[in-house]
Structure 1
Amino acid sequence: MKKFLPLQAMLEVAIFAALAMLIDLLPGIKPIPSISISLAMVPIFIVAFRWGVKASFISGFIWGILQIVTGDAWILTPLQAFIEYFVAFSFIGFAGLMMGVVQNAVRLQNRPKLITSVSVGVLIGSIGRYFWHFIAGVVFFANYAEEAGQTPIYFSFVTNSITMISNFIGCSIVIILILMVRPTFLTMNKPLEANRKVS
């Protein structure tokens, strides 16, 4: 019978979700006053590149739960909370679609391909998350747009686009730097699985 996820993957899913929560509690990096860069998605992206979509979906989902449990969530209605914390955070896991390409680039020691594939994966996960924040912004935060004299669609798109782009750049840089120092970091699960079979 095939396991839902290997034990090591399940442990990493939980640990990296908690790490994402801890990083999220730290002050964001502000290159300019209107932009804040958070690196909290980095642990979820690491899970995505190590274990794929399923594991990173679960890790993002747990992070969303932790946001609510710790009182760090901004909740207006139950539906808004569900969209912005359960759905949006889970969709970061779409970065796992690039797992095979990223790990292959690591094994081939192809740095240009590694940088490109990691960046594409982080972009996919970032768009996956912030699409839902955009939807929630249009539906639930229309009054903020009206106060600013803007339409809800424009207001939500601009606000979430700025946040998404800045976080995408920050997370991509950090993950790429990690892989430049230790490129085998994302392929450690393969030798471990091989060792289990040998033993």
Structure 2
Amino acid sequence: MNTKSHLRTRMLCEGALMVALAQILGYLKLAEAPNGGSITFAMFPIILFAVRWGLRPGLMAGFLFGLLQLIFDGAYAWGWQSMLLDYLVAFTPLGLAGLFRGKSWGLFAGTLAGCLARFAIHYISGVTVYKILAPTEFLNWTFSSPALYSLVYNGSYMLPNTIITLLISVVLYVPLKRFILGLDLK
């Protein structure tokens, strides 16, 4: 019997597990950029949770994951603005995947929406906060434009992260379809 209280407790437990799993997966870095940002499998659990439970729980899970990244992952930041934008604000929009709750294609659209929003926040941070580094070198290129530097730098890890999350979604969609769509909650 799925009472409202039971579902809320289940949502909180699943959220805690998914945030913890994301944190653990965040330590398994495939690559790491010199000024923060890495390529990991960590976004998938947050996006999966958001698509399963909806926007508000998804945004909260993204925020909590960002907070854990800030506290435990050796935050790379240039002041409080960078800490706020690159961690708390940037990871929260992964929960936008919750806008696609219950849709058969929601996991894929949610991944794109959450990752694009996270990239946008990192881009804004790069243009506003990290402009103090200009001119700077990255990938053997010298950038004098903070906008171009932010686009290339943040794209260098966000594009692979988005692709990885989409690939995980493709592989797990069929075996987890009932779970992803929340059919077990009805």
The TM-score range, normalised by the shorter chain, is 0.7 to 0.9
In 2, the alpha carbon distance for the partners of 1:149 and 1:133 equals 17
What's the CA shift string for 1:153-181, capped at 9, x where partnerless? 11001222232221111101102211123
What's the CA shift string for 1:79-105, capped at 9, x where partnerless? 21111111111111111111121xxx2
In 2, the alpha carbon distance for the partners of 1:190 and 1:183 equals 9
1:138 corresponds in structure 2 to: 127
Corresponding residue SS for 2:144: coil
Q: Is 1:157 aligned to 2:151, yes or no?
A: yes
In 1, the alpha carbon distance for the partners of 2:170 and 2:73 equals 32
1:19 corresponds in structure 2 to: 21
Give identity over the alignment, percent.
30
Task: Please give the TM-score of this superposition, normalised by the length of structure 1.
Answer: 0.78
1:38 corresponds in structure 2 to: 40
1:166 corresponds in structure 2 to: 160
Question: Where has structure 1 moved over 6 Å in runs of 4 or more?
Answer: none
In structure 2, the CA distance between the partners of 1:71 and 1:38, relative to structure 1 (3 Å rule), is closer
Q: Which runs of 5+ in 1 are unaligned?
A: 31-35, 106-113, 195-199
Q: Is 1:75 aligned to 2:77, yes or no?
A: yes
In 2, the alpha carbon distance for the partners of 1:72 and 1:12 equals 26
- Bigger helix fraction: 1
2:57 corresponds in structure 1 to: 55
1:108 corresponds in structure 2 to: none
2:171 corresponds in structure 1 to: 177
Alignment counterpart, residue 129 of structure 1, candidates 107, 118, 123: 118
Which has the higher mean CA deviation after the structures are superposed, 143-152 or 121-130?
143-152
The CA RMSD over aligned residues, in Å, is: 2.2
2:35 corresponds in structure 1 to: none
**Is the 1:179–1:185 contact (alpha carbons within 8 Å) kept by the matching residues of 2?**
no
- Tell me which amino acid in the other structure corresponds to 2:120: F
Q: Which runs of 5+ in 2 are unaligned?
A: 33-37, 137-141
Corresponding residue SS for 1:75: coil
- Tell me which amino acid in the other structure corresponds to 1:130: F
Alignment counterpart, residue 89 of structure 2, candidates 82, 87, 110: 87
Q: How many residues align?
A: 173
Whichever of the two has the greater Rg, that structure is 1
Which has the higher mean CA deviation after the structures are superposed, 85-94 or 72-81?
72-81
What's the CA shift string for 1:60-82, capped at 9, x where partnerless? 11111111221421122112111
In 2, the alpha carbon distance for the partners of 1:63 and 1:83 equals 14
Q: Is 1:191 aligned to 2:156, yes or no?
A: no
